[in-house]
Amino acid sequence: MVVGEVAEGVDLLVVGGGPGGYTAALRAAQLGRQVTLVDRDGEEGIGGVCLRIGCIPSKALIEVAELHSQVAHGAERGLVGDVRVALPAFQDWKNAQVDGLTAGVRQLLSSAGVRVLQGTFRFTRPGSGVVRDGDGPPVFLEYRDVVLATGSRPMPLQGIAFDGERILDSSDVLALDEVPGRVAIIGGGYIGIELGTALAKLGSSVTIVEMAERLLPAMDGPLSRPVAKRLDQLGVRVRVDATASAFDEGELEIVVAGETERITVDRVVVAVGRVPNTDELGLDTVGIRVDDRGLVIVDDDRRAAPHVAAIGDITAGPALAHKASAEAIVAAEALCGKPAAFAPAAIPLVVFSDPEVASAGLTVDEATAAGITVSVHRFPLAASGRAATVGSRDGFAQLIVDAEMDAVVGVHIVAPHASELIAEAVLAIEMAASPYDLAASIHPHPTFSELVTEVAHLAIGVPLHVRSATGRTS
């Protein structure tokens, strides 16, 4: 602050109203702190990317696309008749769901006494910052503690700049009111796969362009195979080892093995990653360090400096909402003087693809690199009665067991509803459950959850619905 500026005192400041920020605000308020939350978009920003333009809208689109696809291709199962997609009606319905959820969070914050300020925060010096909102007067704040949760934005691609019309980011896709005819998705990571699958099921002709040698390069290889197979069945073209270099007059130029190809499309979706919103926070003025990707470097208790914590997409680790909110609780508790550390044994990774892919704990390679001798067991989806009822065959549940400790250290599932099944796996890993614990826990029939107990039976040598134990040790 300089002479003439009047600063307001703030007990605990939270910057960002996403799942990281609002969770930190609620936890700090529970612990008796007077909390002020500032978001660029004020009350409208509450919910952040996840609720407003990410997790929730994308899952709503995926669900409606799945319904459309089921009915449109359901003749074999006795579903006959035409079904049409009216995206404007979908948008109204989806926006109502999002509005309901964000209003709920605003209500929680209000009940907890959290004050919400609108504007963009920037540090001015240790202990102080300024909030600016358009042409309005700046608001100077002096905080005791601050939690940074400013999230991330889509990474732009050189030569293929977002224009919101023909070159879209994920938010543009989720707001479409017309199903595009021909679409190229640049990026075969989880966001690209989810959006590409949904658009294909809604009737778009989709090409996915991925720079790595396979889809979902951040996940273990075998997990992506059933997804690639299903995309092929849906008519999605996949170009791997391919780099998109330009888009001009409806032609996307890609380079595959040194050869240039052109794909004629109506829209291009760029989903090549996310950039942390740390560049305009003035972090250097308070001595906070970032890594070469702009991610804030933090200790186990999420502290980046004595009174500053950072959480969510602006820090290392998977850029996922549940990671942000788990870190938020640790950050709030640490800043309130409680012993706290973020050291999970497993953060679930989920792709809402078809079939869904979900992963928790170690992969075989990670276990091997850590010097752990593991046995690996895989139960095929084709042997599941519940899977048969939805006509799904390609997938599996895989258990990775620390052979010495007899403890589950990794679970990887490719199956319908894998996103739900993985929660049990996280609990098993966190509690160092043995395969016997999983096998002896009675699972309801017929459900996909039986995949977990089936693979556990396999691991203890008493397989139920497959012929022999196929575990291998590595």
Q: How far is the CB of 164 from ligand FAD (least distance, A)?
A: 15
Q: How far is the CB of 166 from ligand FAD (least distance, A)?
A: 19
Q: Does 39 bind ligand FAD (CB under 6 A)?
A: yes
Q: Which of 48, 129, 188, 361 binds ligand FAD (CB under 6 A)?
A: 48
31, 42, 19, 46: which is closest to 112 by C-alpha?
31
Q: Which stretch, 50-58, 60-68, 382-390, 425-433, contacts ligand FAD (CB under 6 A)?
A: 50-58
The token pair that represents 427 in the structure block: 């609990």
Map the footprint of ligand FAD across residues 161-180, applying CB under 6 A.
170
Spatial CB neighbours of 300, under 8 Å, sequence gap ≥ 6:
341, 342, 343
Measured from the CB atom, the residue of 172 and 450 that comes closer to ligand FAD is: 172
Q: Does 313 bind ligand FAD (CB under 6 A)?
A: yes
Map the footprint of ligand FAD across residues 348-387, applying CB under 6 A.
none
Active site residue 68: no
Q: Does 312 bind ligand FAD (CB under 6 A)?
A: yes
- Between CA 431 and CA 407 the distance in angstroms is 9
- Between CA 296 and CA 276 the distance in angstroms is 9
Measured from the CB atom, the residue of 248 and 291 that comes closer to ligand FAD is: 291
Map the footprint of ligand FAD across residues 394-453, applying CB under 6 A.
none
Q: Does 320 bind ligand FAD (CB under 6 A)?
A: yes
Measured from the CB atom, the residue of 50 and 413 that comes closer to ligand FAD is: 50
At residue 244's C-alpha, the angle toward residues 263 and 191, to 5°, is 100
Q: Does 121 bind ligand FAD (CB under 6 A)?
A: yes
Q: Which is it for the CA torsion 341, 324, 37, 23, positive or negative?
A: negative
Spatial CB neighbours of 26, under 8 Å, sequence gap ≥ 6:
108, 109, 112, 114
Nearest residue to ligand FAD, scored by beta-carbon proximity: 151
Indicate the burial class of 78 (C-beta count within 10 angstroms; 0-12, 13-18, 19 or more): exposed
Q: Which of 166, 225, 322, 443 binds ligand FAD (CB under 6 A)?
A: 322
Spatial CB neighbours of 356, under 8 Å, sequence gap ≥ 6:
350, 413, 414, 415, 416, 417, 418, 419
Give the active site residues. 445
Residues of this chain that interact with ligand FAD (CB under 6 A) are 15-21, 38-41, 45, 48-50, 54-55, 58, 120-121, 149-152, 170, 191, 277, 281, 312-313, 319-322, 324
